[in-house]
Structure 1
Amino acid sequence: MRLRHALIAPLLACAMAMPALAQDGGALKRSYIRLGREANAVLVEPATPGPNGHIVAINVHPDNLNTFEYFIGRKLGERGYRTIEINFYGKETTFEVFLDPIAAAIRYARKLPGVDKVILVGHSGGGPELTFYQEVAEKGPSACQQANRISKCGGKGLENLPKADAMLVLEANIGAPHRLQGLDPAIVGNKPAPRNPALDAYAAQNGFDPKTGTARYSAAFQQRYEAGLHRRSEAVIAEAKARVAALDAGKGLFRDDEPFVVVGTATSSLGPRLNLQDGSILSETHGTHLNLKADGSRPVEIVKSVRKPGAPALDQRNTMEDTVMDTTVRHYLSFSAITTTPAFAMTRNDIKGVDWSSSANSAAGSVRNITVPTLVMAGSCTIHMIPLEIVFDQSAAADKEFVVVDGGNHEFGPCRPEFGDSQKRAFDYVESWLAKRFPVAG
């Protein structure tokens, strides 16, 4: 889908708040905002404005997710911030379609009384969506038209997008690199069976224990698996690119796009991800970072994952709902495709052999062009900690920080009782980080 900027722009200009939709025990109110033909939002803010109200956060999530009750707005609202939660309900053909609604939300936020700072807060799939926006806002359309980009943006209407003042990447999955890890190299002929036994992560002979759902893979198997994953990923990308080339030449099945089905893959934390089963893979940071512990201490250390390894239920493996991507060729190239090299590998503390900037849907690639203050935060009880450390490493911001919440899950809640109120620790730190950079005037 092309951005219909000329049609949407008049609607963006008249974005307006409607009467409050709901109250959270009297503490928060929500006001409707119209962002255009295919997007709307709610402004979540304290019923009684406080000193932190000079900052507005922008939050969004792909996959047509309804964000109106998203926990980001609630948790920031409890601390006195305002949050604009965006819903995009158009066709997500390419990553570019998200840019206009985010720009409209920022323009709206800048006009709110008393507001002097607008920040982007990307959680889960919203992390790469918002880093992509800020990348294009800071660098212009050339940022998404570089030679190595698998799916280049059209660029029309993307000049002079309003920039945010800070970037918060909170427990995000980092986009196409995350999806890459869920692609099953044991799939043969794009069918669920029979599988290639030499690359089967669920086979006992390769180190998997079906009784516990855990594994201890040998170095030899892991090398075979990663080489197979690289080959299959590149083959799927090549097929999708060939079909797009045929479409562009007027020789495709349709004029605009084509169905594209990929068996043995997952956009969520499913699929045969080696690090789900084998706790030694992507298990600790490669640098020392602040670790927010339940006892109140904040050591700067190599942070080890506290996630208990285990595969998703094996009965999900051959279900269409959980392990088949039913999409289009253009969507796949824009959302899921990322270039790897034969050196692709997942070690104890790193991911190698990935061209991070070859996809728009790659937080690790987008942050290379982002210079505003950046906070990257991960929970140590999820599979995102090491990928998010890579985002921190790749960031071009002079003011950047990577912080881990000990025992935090995907929403920073405690994965086990001994980790205490890990979500409070996370958002207390966010508040202190913002206060240092954007203090209340006067």
Structure 2
Amino acid sequence: MFSKSYWRGTKICLRESVDGYAVGRPVALNAPDTARLRGIYWTPKSNPSPKVAVIASHPRVDFSEHHAFPGYLKAGYACLGANPRYVNNDLDCIHEKILVDIATYMVWLKQQGVEKIILLGNSGGGSLFSFYQQQAVLPPSRRITLTPGGKRTYLEKTEMPPGDALIYMAAHIGQGLIINEVIDPSVVDEQDPLKTDPELDMYDPRNGFAPPPEWSRYSPEFVTRFRAAQLARVRRLDAIAHDMLNDGEAAGAVCTGPDFANLSADMQRHFVRRELHQPIMVIHRTLANLHYTDNSLDPSPRGYGSLISPRPDLANFQRFGFARVMSPDGWLSTWSGLSSNASVPKTAGSVTVPALVIHAARDLDIYPITHSRTIYEALGASDKALWDIPDALHYFDPATPDEGNRTLDGVMARLTEWTAERFPV
């Protein structure tokens, strides 16, 4: 029911040995707020002190051995797989804190003698680096000071070297905007995920759903109602998150207030526990994108289903999925399309360095108009391009084992040429 390659991360890896031409060494850094960061810095043996480096990162996925690295290393570029503090677990993922992590790696690269840094934004790394670049080019006093949940960011005190180019490689427009597309609006009660409004159920045949793998067809009227109801559910979840945070803040105000000492011991314990309590949100049914089952919507040569599952109608009720378990701060900062700052339409106008959007045409979760074209048109760069790779899947992996790395190798040949024209080794 679930894609093994997605959940095991088997596609995010070096797809050939680099022992003959590159060296990798572990990097362990402390962010300014003491968060421990770990990555791998790869350098070509032919160019052990490179002046140009590629940095790849993702909010939660391990990119320390990214599949684009061998191509870049062969061309003489250094590569840093920069894992953030939330690698493999985004329960409390706060994008504003990840910006501090990226800044820590960027400063370290400069200390190694790197003069130009290319931001490789693959998948969720695209919106992450777009957000980073937006904040990095601002004067510190104009940077975001509070997270969507109301926590201090300290970005105004963070050294943030901007990137010199940004590559969106099979990138979406933001994790929150993904949730806006995939959250199931037919959920009636957040405490009872099986309660369903049949008029908003995309997996109900009465609304146009067909037995998989036959493609469904939804009416324009249903699509409009469905999308509006998705935003309404995100808005309700935002309200739940804010209520959770406000309850803790209210209890904290009591604990530090002048009357706290006059309360009974039981009441004191109650308010202290309430202040310290860290609530968790369970977001049910997040595999409900109409694009999964209706390929007439934002048409592409994609297959049926999602990157996570070929049967989203069933997997929608399983525990796997996007943003399934989150802290209220993490939900608001990362997965709420209404609250998150990590939104390419919000940030890409500040990307004025050379930028490239690489669209994987057969991607199951990233679509040509919804994502790639939107990113391209939002960019503020004058030097920008949009490539469509007809046979490519999300990880540029082979459709059949006998294809080997043909698709990836072809992309990397073009990509290293594009890079060399702007940043020669």
TM-score (norm 1): 0.76
Shift of 1:438: 1.9
Shift of 1:47: 2.5
Would you say the 8 A contact 1:151–1:359 is kept in 2? no
- Cα 1:59–1:163 change in 2 (3 A) is same
Deviates more, 1:204-213 or 1:180-189: 204-213
What is the number of equivalent residue pairs in this alignment? Answer: 370
Q: Which residue of 2 aligns with 1:48?
A: 46
Q: Which residue of 2 aligns with 1:67?
A: 63
Would you say 1:273 and 2:289 are equivalent positions? Answer: yes
Write the deviation string for residues 152-210 of structure 1: whole angstroms up to 9, x where unpaired.
66242434411111111111133211122110001110233131111111111111112
More strand by share: 1
Q: Which residue of 1 aligns with 2:321?
A: 322
Secondary structure at 1:215's aligned position in 2? coil
Would you say the 8 A contact 1:317–1:323 is kept in 2? no
- Cα 1:189–1:388 change in 2 (3 A) is same
Would you say the 8 A contact 2:323–2:335 is kept in 1? no
Shift of 1:48: 2.5
Q: Which residue of 2 aligns with 1:82?
A: 78
Would you say 1:227 and 2:231 are equivalent positions? Answer: no
Would you say 1:35 and 2:29 are equivalent positions? Answer: yes
Q: Which residue of 1 aligns with 2:355?
A: 374
Shift of 1:27: 2.3
After superposition, the CA RMSD in angstroms is: 2.8
Secondary structure at 2:79's aligned position in 1? strand
- Cα 1:275–1:78 change in 2 (3 A) is same
Tell me the amino acid that sits aligned with residue 132 of structure 1. Answer: F
Matches within 5 A, 1:418-437: 421-437=406-422
Would you say the 8 A contact 1:118–1:166 is kept in 2? yes
C-alpha distance in structure 2 between counterparts of 1:328 and 1:152, whole Å: 13
Deviates more, 1:158-167 or 1:35-44: 158-167
- Cα 1:418–1:281 change in 2 (3 A) is farther
C-alpha distance in structure 2 between counterparts of 1:23 and 1:411, whole Å: 18
Would you say the 8 A contact 1:150–1:338 is kept in 2? no
Q: Which residue of 2 aligns with 1:184?
A: 184
Greater RCO (Cα-Cα under 8 Å, separation 6 or more): 2
Write the deviation string for residues 333-357 of structure 1: whole angstroms up to 9, x where unpaired.
0011122xxxxxxxxxxxxxxxxxx
C-alpha distance in structure 1 between counterparts of 2:115 and 2:193, whole Å: 53
Q: Which residue of 1 aligns with 2:388?
A: 404
Write the deviation string for residues 192-234 of structure 1: whole angstroms up to 9, x where unpaired.
3131111111111111112425211111221221121121121
C-alpha distance in structure 2 between counterparts of 1:104 and 1:407, whole Å: 36
C-alpha distance in structure 2 between counterparts of 1:158 and 1:388, whole Å: 31
- Cα 1:126–1:192 change in 2 (3 A) is same
Would you say the 8 A contact 2:351–2:381 is kept in 1? yes
Shift of 1:59: 0.9
Q: Which residue of 1 aligns with 2:103?
A: 103
Secondary structure at 1:67's aligned position in 2? coil
Would you say the 8 A contact 2:148–2:329 is kept in 1? no
- Cα 1:211–1:373 change in 2 (3 A) is closer
Sequence identity (%): 24
- Cα 1:99–1:207 change in 2 (3 A) is same
C-alpha distance in structure 2 between counterparts of 1:212 and 1:164, whole Å: 43
Structure 1 portions without partners, runs of 5+: 1-21, 266-270, 284-304, 340-357
Q: Which residue of 2 aligns with 1:345?
A: none
Q: Which residue of 2 aligns with 1:3?
A: none
TM-score (norm 2): 0.79
Would you say the 8 A contact 1:264–1:324 is kept in 2? no
